[in-house]
Amino acid sequence: MNPAYYRVRLLCDLFWILLLPVLVLFLILSQTQYRLGFLSLPAHVAFIFLWGTTKDLYRRSMQEKEARLLGARLIPCVVGKWPGNIDVLLDMMRAFKSSYVLDIISMDQEHTKFVLATGFRHFWRGPAQKERMETLLGEGIFNRDDDHRATARPFFARERILDFEIFEQYCSRTLSIISSLSSGDQPCEVQDLYARFTLDAASEFLFGRNLDTLSASLPVPECTTMGPKGSATGDTWGSFAQAFEMAQQNITSRGRIGYLWPLFEFFSDKNERHVKVIHQWLDPLVQQALEAKRRADSAGVMSPIAEKTFLQHLADTTNDPVAIRDQLLNMLLASRDTTAGVLTYLTYFMAIHPDVTARLRAEVLDHCGPTKPGTFENFRNMKYMRAVINETLRLFPPVPLNVRETRSSPCVFPPSDPSYLQPDSRPLYMPAKTPIVYLPLLTQRNPALWGDDADAFDPERWIQPERIAKFTANPAMFSPFSAGPRICLGQNYAYNQMSYFLVRLLQKFDRFTLAQEFQPEGSLPPIEWKDRSGRQRFEKVWPSAALTLYVKGGMWVRFHKASSP
């Protein structure tokens, strides 16, 4: 069924859950000519409950049989006090309001590796996830399986000097804004600014046209309110950003509610109005590209892929404007939100670890001097910069969790990693058509894999040979760009963009300090975090996650200009 038809799916499910048992009871009563009278309503309710319970028992019995045949055991289940574990769901929803990111979930690294790589053929994105994302992401690369990556792959399968020209242009504009604020001793809301930087650079890269969000009004200290993720501005750019972020938040809420989320949106899809705003930005660009393609075809002009934008490349592969727009929107999500998030957390770590900043800046000056831009060769030789980026990606991967679903056949997981003692050594049985959440953020902070200091920010773990050897022997313990057949196509682009920006930033500034006094109300870590375990004990920002990781309420920072190289 088309994922957009979630209402039809819900009605079909309700028929099997509610109406079919009512029909069966009606037929039974008709055959026996028995009349229930005033007991009719409670009898029907009881029969629906009995029907569902019997189905669940039968399904579990069949799964136990399959598991035994495969030499496996069922996955342990949380059992709440209310039917359907509704009490557990409500407790989780309450916990999300003040919890540290993903602190109520756990995940096994060996199982993650199986889902992404070694057992990849057993899994796909599945109808449930596509249904939640369909209004926003449609037929794009992040909402489809199998051959939908083939169109994009050739465009990202190379490094281009042109990318660096784009980086330089938008780094210069971004740093000009920061320099202006710094000269007036004004803080900057970096999460918002980095989102503009990455979006403008991405739009140039993808469309050949700048969306020019860096020219829009910036958040103002003590005046700007908190938006769905970070800061909220009231201009045209603000409307796009808010729509983009609210749509992601809605998708996340649907995932938390689970199977029955369509009940809450049966009469109105919460993402329709947000997506309408987004399409108003993208549709004119798509139409211009298709018109340019028609003119080029008429003139017999064919450009090599190295000279095309991604939009032109898409227009050459299809005339469907919706398919083109969906692919563009998916790429915008990847190139804006993920890279902006990592740059935000890089700045956070440079602010709270001035020793790391000093060493990183020394390496930048040693390889690039005070004015020269970074090059491919520079980045290959700047080992400490790569270590800092990787350590940031380890602690705060831009996509902290993801979902897959088993296909039409069950499978068996490999043995677990050493995180937890397992009293039963049999592997876990995974039923068919069952969703599974895997969590890079937790895997990458697992003490069993990374040592007792797994929660600490320590770039040295990426330089010391004995610590690198552990990762080399088990690459799946670090997967911020995913792994296996669906590994991120833009991984090199992201590394290059972040490295280029850091070079330019550290050539101008040598210190960064958090301006927490300007954080909007409700965006600082709750006091109760200090009594908990893990990073939340000493975190100075509130990490949160929708489709991607972000800092709740944005992050205000003061930049301090370097007095000398």
3-state SS, one letter per residue, for 444-492: CCCHHHHCCCCCCCCHHHHCCHHHHHHHHHCHHHCCCCCCHHHCCCCHH
Domain that holds residue 41: 5-70
pLDDT of residue 565: 64
* Single residue among 17, 47, 70 that ends a domain in this structure: 70
Q: pTM for this one?
A: 0.93
pLDDT of residue 106: 61
User: Does residue 99 lie within any of the structural domains?
Assistant: no
Residues 173, 40, single domain; the answer is: no
User: Does residue 100 lie within any of the structural domains?
Assistant: no
Question: How many of the other CB atoms lie within 10 Å of CB of 112?
Answer: 24
From CA 440, how far away is CA 148, in angstroms rounded? Answer: 24
Question: 285 with 207: CB under 8 angstroms?
Answer: yes
User: Does residue 88 lie within any of the structural domains?
Assistant: no
Residues 207, 314, single domain; the answer is: yes
User: Does residue 85 lie within any of the structural domains?
Assistant: no
Element at 440 (helix H, strand E): helix 440-443
**Phi (first) and psi of residue 511, to 5 degrees:** -145, 150
Query: Which residues are paired to 509 by β-bridges?
Result: 561
For the chain, the maximum distance between any two Cα atoms, rounded to a whole number of angstroms, is 96
Could you tell me the two tokens for 162?
């042109």
Residues 63, 166, single domain; the answer is: no
From CA 28, how far away is CA 43, in angstroms rounded? Answer: 13
The CA distances from residue 103 to 96, 99, 453, 531, in Å, are 9, 7, 17, 14
User: Does residue 185 lie within any of the structural domains?
Assistant: yes
Residues 255, 154, single domain; the answer is: yes
User: Does residue 86 lie within any of the structural domains?
Assistant: no
Residues 448, 353, single domain; the answer is: yes
Q: Which residues are annotated as a binding site for heme?
A: 488
Tens-digit pLDDT profile for residues 467-506? 999 999 999 999 999 999 889 988 999 999 999 999 999 9
User: Does residue 90 lie within any of the structural domains?
Assistant: no
Residues 48, 121, single domain; the answer is: no
For the chain, how many helices (H) and strands (E)? Answer: 21, 13
Residues 228, 155, single domain; the answer is: yes
CATH, residue 545:
1.10.630.10
10 Å CB burial of residue 543 (0-12, 13-18, 19+) is buried
> Average pLDDT per run of 10 along the chain, which is 565 residues long?
91 94 94 89 94 94 96 90 81 82 75 93 93 94 77 69 88 98 96 94 86 91 87 80 91 90 94 94 90 87 74 88 91 88 98 98 98 95 98 97 94 87 86 93 93 96 94 93 90 94 98 96 93 93 94 96 82
User: Does residue 84 lie within any of the structural domains?
Assistant: no
From CA 221, how far away is CA 193, in angstroms rounded? Answer: 13
Question: 245 with 229: CB under 8 angstroms?
Answer: yes
Residues 59, 118, single domain; the answer is: no
pLDDT of residue 10: 93
Residue 494: name the closest of 337, 349, 387 by CA.
337
Domain count of the fold of the chain? 2
Residues 218, 124, single domain; the answer is: yes
Residues 40, 133, single domain; the answer is: no
Element at 111 (helix H, strand E): helix 109-113
Bridge pairing between strands 231-232 and 435-438: unpaired
Residues 279, 381, single domain; the answer is: yes
pLDDT of residue 80: 87
Residues 134, 202, single domain; the answer is: yes
CA angle 11, 13, 17 (to 5 degrees): 115
* Single residue among 48, 70, 92 that ends a domain in this structure: 70
Q: Which residues are annotated as a binding site?
A: 488
